[in-house]
Structure 1
Amino acid sequence: MSESPLRTGTAVPLRRDDVDTDQLAPARFVPYFRPDGFTNILLADWRSDPDFVLNQPQYQGASVLVAGRDFGTGSSRESAVWALQSAGFRVVVASRFGDIFRGNATTRGLWTVEVGHDVVERLWAEVEADPWVPVTVDLSALRLTCGAVESPVRIDAPLLRRLLEPGDRIAETLTHLAEIEAYEAAEAVR
């Protein structure tokens, strides 16, 4: 079963660089948080500030998060992805992602698409000017559109394939069984 290559929603402009997995899902919550979302722990340490963007009513219900450079760096905390999904996010747009976070996100079906930082800044401005402007990511065309902003997106080919055709990684590996067996047989005679 393949997934639709389009996702559209409103966005939250998270004007921050270097958002790591401990900020996304603080460690004190991790033992109690599960993928089905018992509570929303996303960016909990910043949520006490009433001016923080996720507390603003105009951004409630958004499904796209637009962040800065180096989003999701740090530990391999899967709960960072769970927290984003529990808060309703289906797409994260940033100019750079942590590799482990991006892999975890792909496994869970959270789209992580990269654009140039200049595009991120234009998206922030567009969304702040009109919080209800839709953001559309088209993985088949590798394009993002949002009001006057249109940009190509970057996503590694294996990750793109996994997002468009989600499935079991073991089953995916087994499609190469003949090649694996041939390699193993060649190694056995060495």
Structure 2
Amino acid sequence: MAEKFIPHAKVVDGILILSLPDADSPVVWQMEVGQAKSSAMEVRPADQNNSSYKLVLKTPRADVLDIASYSKKEDAVRALMTVSEAMENAQGQIRALAQTGTPHQRPYDYTVPAIRSSHYNDNKLSTYIFKPLGYVSSAIILLVILFFLSTSMIGMYSGMGSSSASSSSSMSSENQPISAEDFLEGR
């Protein structure tokens, strides 16, 4: 009689089907394996004095879902090991292709195939020639702009210096005699 109430788990078409007739409240539970990518199952004490235990599912969003409760820890661990064996036996492709060629065997499955863009250039001409050429031409234009700015700034400052020198010499030459040394030094 006790062998009738053993836990059973199986993965069929990507869905984990878990039958737990030995739980305090017998349950048949299912979960789509593809949606539970990083989930974990564990056995936790249900109360403070460890008189009962729960088999729970922890999701990546930190949700904890109770699957079944047990009065003995050994029964809960046996259910957990049954799930583990079912997941180990579900190696390879979890979802089988249907006879019609649609994955997941569902009529509402409308997967979109990956299509390469029509303007994709296979010869890599733009990658190996046009991009470096663009970088080099941008650098040359930047250097030309910097050259013109620096020469105009130098010309502006040198013109200011010569105009002030000529204005001072013109002021000194207005109706005042100057010495030869002052004339030669530009005072």
* Same fold? TM cut 0.5: no
More contact order relative to length (CA 8 Å, sep ≥ 6) = 1
User: What TM-score results when the alignment is normalised by the length of structure 2?
Assistant: 0.19
Highest Rg: 1 or 2? Answer: 2
TM-score (norm 1): 0.19
